[in-house]
Amino acid sequence: MKILLIEDEDTIGAAIQQGLEEAHYTVDWARDGRAGLDAALDELYGLIILDLMLPGRDGWSICQSLRARRDTTPILMLTARDAVGDRVRGLEMGADDYLPKPFDFGELLARVRALLRRDAVHKGRVIQIADLQIDTKQRNVLRAGQEVSLTPREYSLLEALAVREGQVLTRETILDTVWMNEESLPNNVDVYVGMLRRKIDAGRDAKLIRTVHGLGYSLRDPQTSEGEG
């Protein structure tokens, strides 16, 4: 998977490039806005990491140019810590996510993986979280290579959680996504999460489904989310 990094600060750029390469991504690093936009237009990337304040051309205008050309490559914007306005503007220009500076490399990697996964889902491919594999086209689920047999409702619940890996979904969100317009009660969510857990997590060392007390549920790889949140 090839990632385009557009960042003018040497230290930050070098750290991101090195970290991503260690995570087995190929990285092209453009150090100014013009070179960045040219690279994005010339080559097909899986993801673009885009700084906002750049010589040549700023991040917003790069984002806008790409989206105006119907380029849907996922864009992760790097923004200043407290500049809420920057983030709103970035999302309006078509960025998929943003990460405030300074950040922890683990956080960046988690966002990169989440965006790539989300993009893969949109293209109807396979979601892989730890040893859980979900084929969203076949609606087929494997845990550690073994097929897990799920009811359609359990499958929808699992997919809803997996697509938003690491994010907490409230019971209301789950009801809206999985039950849609049907009459149902928040308690049903707990019942179904319980059933899903018995099929996905029971008897496994790594538990993927997490209860976030007072909030809801999330699905994450316990290995990669250590120290987060």
Which residues lie near Ca ion (CB under 5 A)? 8, 51, 53
Gap between the Cα atoms of 58 and 124, Å rounded: 33
Residue length of the chain: 229
Distance CA 177, CA 150 (A): 17
Q: Which is nearer to Ca ion, 51 or 221 (CB)?
A: 51
Q: Least CB distance from residue 51 to Ca ion, whole Å?
A: 4
CB neighbour list of residue 45: distance below 8 Å, 6 or more residues apart: 2, 3, 4, 28, 73
Backbone angles phi, psi at 184, to 5 degrees: -160, 165
Q: How far is the CB of 65 from Ca ion (least distance, A)?
A: 18
∠ Cα 12 14 18 (to 5°): 120
- Nearest Cα residue to 107 out of 49, 170, 184: 49
Nearest distance in Å: CB 12, Ca ion: 8
Of 8 and 71, nearer to Ca ion (C-beta) is 8
Closer residue to Ca ion in complex, CB, 39/142: 39
The CA distance from 229 to 214, in Å, is 15
**Minimum CB distance to Ca ion smaller for 5 or for 114:** 5
Task: Kindly tell me which of 101 and 122 has the beta carbon lying closer to Ca ion.
Answer: 101
Q: Minimum CB separation from Ca ion for residue 10, in Å? A: 10
Q: In this complex, which beta carbon is closest to Ca ion, that of residue 53 or of residue 130?
A: 53
Tell the smallest beta-carbon distance from residue 174 to Ca ion (Å): 39
> Could you tell me the smallest distance in angstroms from the CB atom of residue 215 to Ca ion?
35
Q: Please, which residue, 32 or 119, has the CB nearer to Ca ion?
A: 32
For residue 4, the surrounding DSSP H or E stretch is strand 2-6
**In 81-164, at which residue ranges do the beta strands (DSSP E only) sit?**
97-101, 126-129, 132-135, 140-143, 146-148
What single letter denotes the amino acid at residue 101?
K
Task: State the minimum distance, in angstroms, from the CB of residue 62 to Ca ion.
Answer: 12
Q: How far from each other are the two terminal CA atoms of the chain, in whole angstroms?
A: 27
